[in-house]
Amino acid sequence: MYRLPLNRRLLPVLLLSLCLTLLSACGDGGGSMAGTSAIDAREAVERQKLATSFEGVLKAGNKPLALSMGKTLQRRWPDSAEAKAVAKQVAQLEAQVAEEKETARLANLWVYHRLGKDGDSAFIYRFGDGDPERGGRGIRLVLRDKPDWGRDVFLLTARGRFDCAPDCKIELIVDDQPPVKIDAFASEPEQNPALFFKDTDAFLAILRAARRIDVAAPLQDDAGNRAQFEVGGYDESSWLGDKAGTPSPDRGG
């Protein structure tokens, strides 16, 4: 009996195996494409939902949350239509949120006390000053309004005494303006260590428009000492209420 060579007998088996392999590959490709399409569809829905929420939150005035949503769109889907649509708004929000944070930071540097008939006060600590219990001077710029004394503006230190007796002229630098000299005098030895500015109204006028004030604050153990204050958050109505913007009353008036 005639026998086919071995390689011819195996040929149908090899062809069948090849067909099955090709069919399996085609089946996997179709499934993969279907899976990818489903993921794309879900992400499209997620993007649209986030973009809609972004607009709603922005309209409600919650800028920090809107900024977070907009940046999420840009980070996850940078090339999407939704990310490109919010790009300009996100840039504006970044600037606005940063400005509002800085405004709040400056405002929170001030402390106000409304004490009614006992008078009102406001103060801010020297920029970067350390804790007086750990070696810092604890220098404060203090604004005081008392019915029986009138208004005062002065520096107060937790350590040491000011070197300005009986009075002196000290250097004041406001923002980037040239330095000027202002009249000052130190408190009596038996009183709290303070350095008073003689022209209260002139100093308050400077304070209302200033962002930063740098003033000489000579101490008996440090003649070159200076005090710098970030005063841009000053709110006179929080100190004086309805009297904000009015001139200082006469002493004892």
Q: What percent of the chain has pLDDT over 90?
A: 61
- pLDDT single digits (tens) 125-143: 887 665 555 545 679 999 9
Q: Full-prediction pTM beyond 0.85? A: no
Residue 29 has what pLDDT? 52
Q: Looking at 144-148, 218-222, 247-251, which range is the least confident one? A: 247-251
Residue 4 has what pLDDT? 43
Q: Is 252 strand, coil or helix?
A: coil
Buried b (16+ CB within 10 A) or exposed e, 140-176: bbbbbbeeeebbbbbbbbeebbbbbeeebebebbbee
Cβ-contact 189, 165 below 8 angstroms: no
- The stretch 69-85 carries a mean pLDDT of 94
Phi, psi of 123 (to 5 degrees): -155, 160
Residue 39 has what pLDDT? 72
- The stretch 72-89 carries a mean pLDDT of 94
With 0-12 / 13-18 / 19 or more C-beta atoms within 10 angstroms meaning exposed / middle / buried, residue 184 is buried
